[in-house]
Structure 1
């Protein structure tokens, strides 16, 4: 009996990685879960006005349906990464998928603002468990020589899910109610759960250390206050409150960092930041996602308010971006095994910047075709960058710190998206409406160029992709 079970259970062989076809099914499971968790960050944006009307809640309050989800991810991501290293990536991952299915069902059945908001917060914790260990598992699934290909698929799923949120939401809303924005997660989650349980590797290396609860609490307060303060600043919260938040942030943050410096395997992986190529890759990742969010949040305002397009048409016009990424990211996964990731990443960010600068030159007379080709350029550049960058982040960390590297990769994306969202709010409040989108795109192009420069600095560092 034990022998039969052993044959059915995918194990990490001494030959490095999972054998085919188990590797394919494992990556399919990861892709389903990752798509589901990333998609839900942006899929609600379009329906916020409808929810505000249905629940009779002001627009400023209704945004907590989105903010609560993202805040939950930010405050818990590094904690789940640490738990993955201690208890196993597979266990944390499958638990996150199961909870995501349950919370998605609650969201789809919600009949009040508070029910939906609380469910969304717990859905965010579930997404955090999935995201925190996602890329760490690629090291146990793929042979080292094929890690770039795995990262290519992973980057493709993340980029497409993030950019395609408005498009998918538009399609669902065109034929059904907002409840189905959440209900669609259930079949995706169940598929990921079944495939993950059967094919994800079980015999992962685990750390015998205890979970640092004090660091987890300090981490939640530090990053939670950071995001909340940025949001308050962007929405012109009273200065007294912002000052109080900054003081608390400085005190707790100082304690948190000092505590991490004394740990051999810290929750906040400061040990990994001592690796130059890792730090450069994290920095360029943050800049790239700031640029992406500056574009993805500001463009719908131009398309709807200036060009007069509907929500559905806006989603369709933004679709060429993820399609271009879909084509480019796997290609980058192939190229990263042959070209230094610093060079490849710089090329991708320069192309991305060119696309953003060209979008900033759109006028009220611009045709749909002129918008589409510019979005294609952005998608190609972003896809060409993400794969080599993510590959470098994961492979430059020691194997036993893959969870920490995975958590930092996810944190870089979330911080970049949050800073980008905050910048859009600030720019929209200081720039006249007719020029606000153009300014956001110019600033985004600037961040993309900064990312290209930082990526180029990695050329002096040895590539970790063999």
Structure 2
């Protein structure tokens, strides 16, 4: 896709809009996780139900990414991305004004729809204004923005909860969103549109495949075994039907051509495992720190912060190493370090000192940072250059599927576990996901070797 003629100032403003969109989503995820125990007490809800404040958001994002990307092709990138920013901002205000769990969860659904538009299209937005020679620098800025927003989120949440009630956590998004919308509508260039009919059947099957599968896992956590089997079976059926339906499309919503590349598909599976491990820990740790160890919300935010902070420090370093060493090995080493950090968190003493938690969280951050940059680089370069937009979309899909799956498994584990063991079991399962991701990552070394032998 040719880059439209834009000035350097306009390019920087568009990049700022992309970063602000990432910050909105990053702050929202981190803030909501930290606030779950507080919201649970304030709304007088069980831990299992409260977790769905996070679950429904990630689930909505996951099922909306591919339809959002398809709509951008037909209606234009600027329109869909701008609409997503406005929708997210309005839903953030609705979250803050909600007085019941039902209203809050409904607002989070709308918020997820807006976030999906931004997450699916941020890479395409940047690529639309940057020449090829500058894309590496542009995507490095995006990766750094993701890590920094995650690092600031827990500390910001802790600071807000120390002086105000939880609705103010969602109000933080409103001024950022309003500024981002105004800036984006002014700076973003007009985007081309392709007159394509929207694939309603594919979108419906996409929602069924992802949504029903994760809802089935949650039903298992609620001990509704018959309902769970029905939902999981229906989700698998939708997955099979989606694959068959997409194979018949000239412009499929699901990029089957990229998924047919072993190196690409293994990298996507590695991403799903890594992000599932991450969200299992991110959702479970606040309950461990506040409910089991009886720390305050402020201390919980401080205890969580080393993880994303070390991701921000390790990711650029891993990116430089990826130019000299195999990405498959670097990502595998990173996920192995993550698994060690998660295992040590699950084996903490009953009342650890701050430093005794901080070094474990830092180890997780270093491992995740070493995984992330090399793996993302492989996803973006394993397919043809003409399909980099679809590759970026699938990377967002893998991330949100991992988050949604991990969040649903938290609900499952809390529903099954008795007493305070739920958080520990979540960390143990997260360790398993990290190890599985490490195995999938290093297997790419074999795939790449075989591909080289055939050429």
The residue number in structure 2 matching 1:84 is 72
Asked whether the equivalents of residues 39 and 162 of structure 1 are also in contact (C-alpha less than 8 Å), the reply is yes
The residue number in structure 1 matching 2:111 is 123
For the residues of structure 2 that align with 1:107 and 1:301, how far apart are their CA atoms? 21
Aligned partner (choices 222, 229, 232) of residue 216 of structure 2: 229
Give the 3 Å change call, closer, same or farther, for CA 164–428 of structure 1 in structure 2: farther
The residue number in structure 2 matching 1:451 is 437
Aligned partner (choices 279, 292, 316) of residue 278 of structure 2: 292
RMSD value, Cα: 2.9
The residue number in structure 1 matching 2:300 is 314
The residue number in structure 2 matching 1:355 is 341
Deviations 1:252-292 (CA, angstroms, capped at 9, x unpaired): 33322210111232112222101222101101001111221
Give the 3 Å change call, closer, same or farther, for CA 439–63 of structure 1 in structure 2: closer
Matched, 1:101 2:92: no
Asked whether the equivalents of residues 151 and 309 of structure 2 are also in contact (C-alpha less than 8 Å), the reply is no
Matched, 1:212 2:203: no
Deviations 1:304-358 (CA, angstroms, capped at 9, x unpaired): 3443311220111111111111222233344434443223322322322232233
Matched, 1:26 2:17: no
Asked whether the equivalents of residues 85 and 401 of structure 1 are also in contact (C-alpha less than 8 Å), the reply is no
Give the 3 Å change call, closer, same or farther, for CA 381–294 of structure 1 in structure 2: same
Question: Counterparts of 1:45-84 in structure 2 under 5 Å?
Answer: 45-52=33-40, 54-55=42-43, 60-84=48-72
Q: Normalising by the residue count of structure 1, what TM-score does the alignment of the two structures yield?
A: 0.86
For the residues of structure 2 that align with 1:414 and 1:100, how far apart are their CA atoms? 16
Question: Counterparts of 1:20-419 in structure 2 under 5 Å?
Answer: 20-52=8-40, 54-55=42-43, 60-162=48-150, 165-203=153-191, 207-236=194-223, 238-419=224-405
For the residues of structure 2 that align with 1:50 and 1:370, how far apart are their CA atoms? 25
Give the 3 Å change call, closer, same or farther, for CA 105–351 of structure 1 in structure 2: same
For the residues of structure 2 that align with 1:103 and 1:223, how far apart are their CA atoms? 23
The farther-off stretch of 46-55 and 251-260 is 46-55
For the residues of structure 2 that align with 1:61 and 1:436, how far apart are their CA atoms? 14
Give the 3 Å change call, closer, same or farther, for CA 22–312 of structure 1 in structure 2: same
The farther-off stretch of 23-32 and 284-293 is 23-32
Deviations 1:157-194 (CA, angstroms, capped at 9, x unpaired): 33444565443322211111222111111121123223
For the residues of structure 1 that align with 2:139 and 2:370, how far apart are their CA atoms? 12
Indicate the SS of the match to 1:169: helix
Indicate the SS of the match to 1:271: helix
Give the 3 Å change call, closer, same or farther, for CA 213–429 of structure 1 in structure 2: closer
Give the 3 Å change call, closer, same or farther, for CA 220–337 of structure 1 in structure 2: same
For the residues of structure 2 that align with 1:399 and 1:87, how far apart are their CA atoms? 23
The farther-off stretch of 432-441 and 174-183 is 432-441
Asked whether the equivalents of residues 20 and 176 of structure 2 are also in contact (C-alpha less than 8 Å), the reply is yes
Matched, 1:420 2:406: yes
The farther-off stretch of 174-183 and 329-338 is 329-338
Give the length in aligned residue pairs: 448
Asked whether the equivalents of residues 85 and 400 of structure 1 are also in contact (C-alpha less than 8 Å), the reply is no
- Which stretches in structure 1 are left out of the alignment for 5+ residues? 1-10
For the residues of structure 1 that align with 2:7 and 2:431, how far apart are their CA atoms? 42
The residue number in structure 2 matching 1:5 is none
Matched, 1:461 2:445: no
Indicate the SS of the match to 1:43: helix
Q: Normalising by the residue count of structure 2, what TM-score does the alignment of the two structures yield?
A: 0.87
- Which stretches in structure 2 are left out of the alignment for 5+ residues? none
